[in-house]
Structure 1
């Protein structure tokens, strides 16, 4: 977390000043003069149209006061009903009660705080920087002449999206609620599922200019302390201007930024986040994004979906095995086709090799050029479908693939077998539950195809060995990425490739080294 101060830079041509953010060790405090305090706040906030400064007079105490807030971030109805109306109108009803303190200015603040303002969140501040940051967060500052502190009143209210079904993690069975951009609402979604006082929420403010709220949450009696301390240490080292999305945090705290594999799981589902917390993981919530980060992760956990646990064990196991198979097909299918056609046709059954040779008759390009052309075309169609409006995007993806594939075969640019291989590969990649994993497989697929084009099956084996060595060396916040396979942890195999019946999953994952390992008694 960072301390910041605001300094002003004079313009040679005008008396107006422009605020600048600079790191500074000295704190500036409010004085007892209302006008001096308002002048300082006005210089910092500038003459922007969304800055509201409302001066008024408290005749009971014969003193001036003012409220400062930002339109659009603060609730104007609350400001009127529970602040201005309470002070300017309702305050008169209690004249007999407060008349004895009429001349004692030091008690005005306490009367306001304890008897007049009816808001739930009321905080007293002396530091100007803290006050400004809270105003930018939607709070309202109440300043009173003769008082050298400010009352910060909780009036946050900004437009936010309603809770909807997650887009990137659709499921057949399970809750339909998804995280939204409001961090307080996201916290409440987790609280609904974990009603336990051991759920800890640690608040950080990251970003010199954006001042983004980041919440680190974990179960105090379950999560390993080493993981918690490592997460906090990495967050505290972040020094950046802006944090627009949780992906920036992910890239700044991951173990190996050069690895194509994600080292944190992103999720829009509160049920998945809650399940991860109860396993002993840590969740990072970032204000302004519906994507929550879960860590640490392993190669088996990123290929698991929430619905694996909501269905009976044999259904969950079957779906999970199909998902692992889809990863293998998505990674190896085009490269195996290239290697077998170019280098090892003798390994293909006779009838099939004759069929492939017939379909390739008249194709002017080698198999690797075919594969690259079709894969690049599919990737372009996929990206176009994502960027376009949803109804148009689906049409472009389906119709574009059919039309281009048929046209390419008719023109003799590619063989029908290559179109089939690329189509199966694309469909397999859609079955992966994590977008980050799908991206990694798509990138590695091109490297695998080039290796197959140069060295055939030997190139595929060598490239697979390089990936395996990288995975074995990779860690996620101290947890081996290939666990529970390497290092070998037999207890965790019950929920790795297959899923055993729920009654047998009595222990939390041993690879996370939880404080409380018992899940079912």
Structure 2
């Protein structure tokens, strides 16, 4: 049924084919026509600057520079103009300006700033101008030169807000693609770190960068990533979340099958395991594929401290996962159907607290969970100066008022509070969101069938997770299928000298990190 619904959904949302095919309009030899066409296509925008300079005083040759004032660097523009003002193309035997290789000579000998390229059609010229480039046009030339000198405002490198660490680098990705690439290059100084560029979005023309390490990555994975990105037919890509939703394996699943992070060190570690990273211009979140569910329990800080401490914290996160998922459900099931499981003293205490409560345990838990979700969303959307204080004070006041009014019991407030706190222990925020969604389903099953309903929900959850794939890789690997050699970085984090091989399902080409594995360090006894 799910497959049938998905096929019907895809058919209903299939984009219509355009009957009219637009052809690329090339530049003409008339300078006035080219400038008029560019201005017309940009709607005579007020921020479009058309500047005229004389680049060859002996022959009085004028060059027209077109650019968006807010997208270019003023200092680099002045350097470009100074270089053009000293331009001379004089033949030793003649005193006339060369006509044939003007643009090629302009690129090779005179332009000393930025990246210069030739453009022969209006679409390329307009895209480059809107990307922070300067277009240079000459009379009797059917091509233009575009020079990249971007200078738009950008955010400085800061600590990522969604993945903070105590020990480790405090640098995070920004919205600038070139800055994000430099952060990766600083960590992986290898010529095998290959970057491939794409442009997606018929209107936005967003630049996408695919990063992987040649010699480690599986070529089939790179081909699959290119294939899925090439199939995207949409007018706008404003954030990496667009790409994630369009290329993920399973649409109707609460669990994320593509890993996204703001941390450059995390992306560098994934690339070294043989994965592919997708960087989107304008987004600080980088996508990594394929991804496994165990990776959402792993923090970057696990690899910057001792193995025993990292293992303890990782077990704590798994424990918090079950608390956040099952604590309200177990409370509802035990109070509704299985009171005999509680000790007599505890049962009497809870019964005394619930004396006078007009709602059953399920309605009581549902009201508190919804109220906490409202407070959480309000705290995120409000200004940062008052958002945290509002959420904390609101939760305390609301919980105390609900208990005094006799709407909920104090035990329910404790259960919901522990559940909410455990939900914040996950390093990946998208996994925390998935747990919040599934928790309501588990509460409903517990209210209907008790512990049997909870077991039924856990079985369905395991079946669903086992059926998921991330670019062809089982989502629950290396637990299912169980791979013994890959258990060194799942529940336990073994010491670094023992982590000498890469995940086998993800990388089958260059498995070993070292030639023979790093030997265990030995201590020398003093005589």
User: What aligned pairs does 1:155-304 form with structure 2 within 5 A after superposition?
Assistant: 155-304=149-298
User: What aligned pairs does 1:12-411 form with structure 2 within 5 A after superposition?
Assistant: 24=21, 26-58=23-55, 59-82=57-80, 84-88=81-85, 90-91=86-87, 100=94, 102-411=96-405
Residue number in structure 2 paired with 1:18? none
Shift of 1:101: 5.5
Residues 129-181 of structure 1, C-alpha deviations (whole Å, 9 max, x = no match): 11111111111110011222111111111110000000000111110000000
Shift of 1:46: 1.8
Shift of 1:357: 0.7
TM, length-normalised to structure 2:
0.91
After TM superposition, the structure 1 stretch with the greater mean CA deviation from structure 2, 332-341 or 497-506, is 497-506
Q: Structure 1: how far apart are the matches of 2:283 and 2:500?
A: 34
Shift of 1:295: 1.1
Query: Are the equivalent residues in 2 in contact too, given 1:168–1:268 (CA < 8 A)?
Result: yes
Give the count of matched residue pairs. Answer: 497
1:509 to 491, 498, 503: 503
Q: Structure 1: how far apart are the matches of 2:512 and 2:293?
A: 23
Q: Structure 1: how far apart are the matches of 2:453 and 2:74?
A: 66
Shift of 1:95: 8.4
After TM superposition, the structure 1 stretch with the greater mean CA deviation from structure 2, 410-419 or 72-81, is 72-81
Q: Unpaired runs of 5+ in structure 1?
A: 1-20
Counterpart of 1:72 in 2: which secondary structure?
helix
Q: Structure 2: how far apart are the matches of 1:307 and 1:469?
A: 31
Shift of 1:199: 0.9
Q: Structure 2: how far apart are the matches of 1:95 and 1:472?
A: 69
Q: Structure 2: how far apart are the matches of 1:101 and 1:125?
A: 28
Query: Are the equivalent residues in 2 in contact too, given 1:29–1:126 (CA < 8 A)?
Result: yes
Residues 331-382 of structure 1, C-alpha deviations (whole Å, 9 max, x = no match): 0000000000000000111111111111111111100011001101111111
Distance 1:96 1:252, change over 3 A: closer
Query: Are the equivalent residues in 2 in contact too, given 1:101–1:107 (CA < 8 A)?
Result: no
Query: Are the equivalent residues in 2 in contact too, given 1:60–1:102 (CA < 8 A)?
Result: no
Residue number in structure 1 paired with 2:7? none
Structure 1 runs of 4+ aligned residues shifted over 4 Å read: 94-101
Q: Structure 1: how far apart are the matches of 2:369 and 2:354?
A: 18
Shift of 1:392: 0.7
Residues 455-484 of structure 1, C-alpha deviations (whole Å, 9 max, x = no match): 100111111111110000000001101111
Q: Structure 2: how far apart are the matches of 1:427 and 1:98?
A: 80
Query: Are the equivalent residues in 1 in contact too, given 2:90–2:97 (CA < 8 A)?
Result: no
Counterpart of 1:46 in 2: which secondary structure?
coil
Q: Structure 2: how far apart are the matches of 1:162 and 1:409?
A: 47
Distance 1:23 1:184, change over 3 A: farther
Q: Structure 2: how far apart are the matches of 1:290 and 1:255?
A: 23
Query: Are the equivalent residues in 2 in contact too, given 1:34–1:65 (CA < 8 A)?
Result: no
Residue number in structure 1 paired with 2:11? none
Residue number in structure 2 paired with 1:425? 419
